[in-house]
Chains A and B, each alone.
Chain A
Amino acid sequence: MKMVNIKKTALNHIHRALGGNMVEFAGWDMPIWYTSIIDEHMAVRNSVGIFDVSHMGDITIKGKGTMDFLSKIFTNDPRRCQVGDMRYTHLCNEKGQVMDDMIMYKYADDHFFVVPNGATADMVWAWFQKHAKGFKVEMKNTTVDWYCIAVQGPHGFETVQKLTKEDLSPMKFFSFREVDLGVGDKVMTCRSGYTGEDGFELVGPNKFAEPLWKKLIAAGKEFGIKPIGLGARDTLRLEKGFLLSGSDFHNDRTPLECGVGWAVKLDHDFIGKGPIEKQKQKDDYGRFRGFICTEPGIPRHGCKIEVNGKEIGPVTSGTMSPVLKKGIALGFVPKQYMAAGTKVDIIVRDKKIKAEIHDFPMVPDNKK
């Protein structure tokens, strides 16, 4: 279906002025790259890049029932969060299958913020509304009204630190604060990202997006900061083995299969808990693994994984790794084939490409 009203972020005109190659993604007009996916990828690995990820969802939940409500719908338990904590969680259906993955942010016992994926934001919002009945909560969806800018890379921290006198260094990874970054309003400053590098994700109302972007570009100039499109965002997360909603799972895999059992707390009740608990006891489920090709070829979503001519699972994400200069993939295999070093064939256009299972991340980690 053709989108009639394609949404534009507050930074759309900047992407166009930069010559960004624009595509429709999740109903938004987004830059897929500006100069080259590989150059942008390497800028984030080696120095710093800036991303407009305003297509991500923004949902605020307030009220006395906030904890109980989120505890019911999330696999991770909001009760474990301190103020200023971020927690990765899955949202599952009644079968325990992952509908989306997202991060929750705790402002107070009765105030949380949630960021679902762009492509699933509407579905998540509808699910929230459906299941909030009976809980004392008020919810607000500001997805189209708020920006999100990510600053990522070994110089990501310094770039943002330059905008404020407040010392950001005590901030742990996956924590957030409201910080004065000099744009006229405090900015939700989250030490997090989807690249496996250090840096921040910055969130606030659209009218502050452009001044913040410009300040960050100026601050990052000494490090050679580059604007980064969604193309490199995908290859960066793929090298680190981070899941992509809709590609690696789509109402068909449990959090355990996805390798994030750590984001499932079985000491609270949540939608989908029963099937997940059973699966954990049986421990016979498939595993989400990384694959590095040992001969030329690029696996893609949907390619088959074989061992000795027998199909054992699907590739759910694949690309050429700009760091390794080899084909890499993410996919699912039965438990007995999960060991690192296991040799497999990935079928690319009827040809067998040799690959080996690799632990995550598939490239060295810079982050402390």
Chain B
Amino acid sequence: MTNVPNDLKYTQTHEWLKVEGNKGRTGLSDYAQHQLSDIVFVEFPEVGRKVKKGEAIGVVESVKSVSDMNAPVSGTVVEVNKALTDNLEAVNKDPYGKGWYAMIEMSDPTEVKSLMDAAAYKKHIHE
């Protein structure tokens, strides 16, 4: 059963966002990790990079495919989950916890409202 936590926001391209003060933590949704199967490589944005909502900021690769990671909100990348490099299974096994991807300091927190809530995202993935 696909896990879609209620306290997160979601993008059309299957990233999740957790608001933590003026920052947003992001990663790949459970639905997306399941579709991709084993994640075997990630490429992070540089810390300090300014990003725009919807912009491709890095890459996750499964055995068979390459997918962009898109910024769910605009701002500055302040941290990336370097620990993933040695524990890529976390993206598959714990996508909302140890499998997180990057932390973005939001330049426009009102953008959060334009993201899907859990109910809307559930509808999105079942279409």
- Residues of A that sit less than 8 Å from B by CB: 21, 32-33, 36-38, 231, 234-235, 296-298, 300, 319-320, 322, 327, 349
Contact = CB atoms under 8 A, between A and B. Distances in A.
B63 A349 contact: no
B43 A349 contact: yes
A319 B41 contact: no
Interface in B2-58: 35, 37-38, 40-41, 43
Contact of B35 (A21, A38, A298, A319): A21
B61 interface: yes
Contact of A319 (B37, B59, B63, B85): B63
A32 B64 contact: yes
Contacts of A234: 64
A231 B62 CA distance: 11
Which 3 pairs from chain A and chain B are nearest by CB? A320-B40, A37-B63, A38-B38
Contacts of B35: 21
Interface in B55-91: 59, 61-64, 66, 85
B43 A320 contact: no
A231 B64 contact: yes
11 contacts: A21-B35, A32-B64, A36-B38, A37-B37, A37-B38, A37-B64, A38-B63, A298-B40, A298-B41, A319-B64, A322-B63
A33 B41 contact: no
A21 B34 CA distance: 9
Main secondary structure of the interface of A (DSSP, over half): mixed
Given A38-B63, A320-B63, A21 B37 contact: yes
Contacts of B37: 21, 33, 36-37, 231
Interface residues of B, number: 14
B66 A297 contact: no
B61 A320 contact: yes
Contacts of A33: 37
Contacts of B62: 37
Nearest to B41: A298
A140 B81 CA distance: 57
Given A38-B63, A231-B64, A319-B64, A296 B41 contact: yes
Contacts of B64: 32, 37, 231, 234, 319
A343 to B, nearest CB: 21
A159 B33 CA distance: 33
Contacts of A300: 66
A322 B35 CA distance: 19
A349 B38 contact: no
Given A33-B37, A36-B38, A235 B63 contact: yes
Contacts of A231: 37, 63-64
Contacts of A235: 63
B41 A297 contact: yes
A322 B63 CA distance: 9
Nearest to A23: B64
Contacts of B43: 349
Contacts of B59: 349
Nearest to B59: A349
A38 B92 CA distance: 12
B60 to A, nearest CB: 11
A322 B40 CA distance: 9
Given A37-B37, A38-B38, A319-B63, 14 more contacts: A33-B37, A37-B38, A37-B62, A231-B37, A235-B63, A296-B41, A297-B41, A298-B40, A298-B41, A300-B66, A319-B64, A320-B40, A320-B61, A320-B63
Nearest to A320: B40
A56 to B, nearest CB: 20
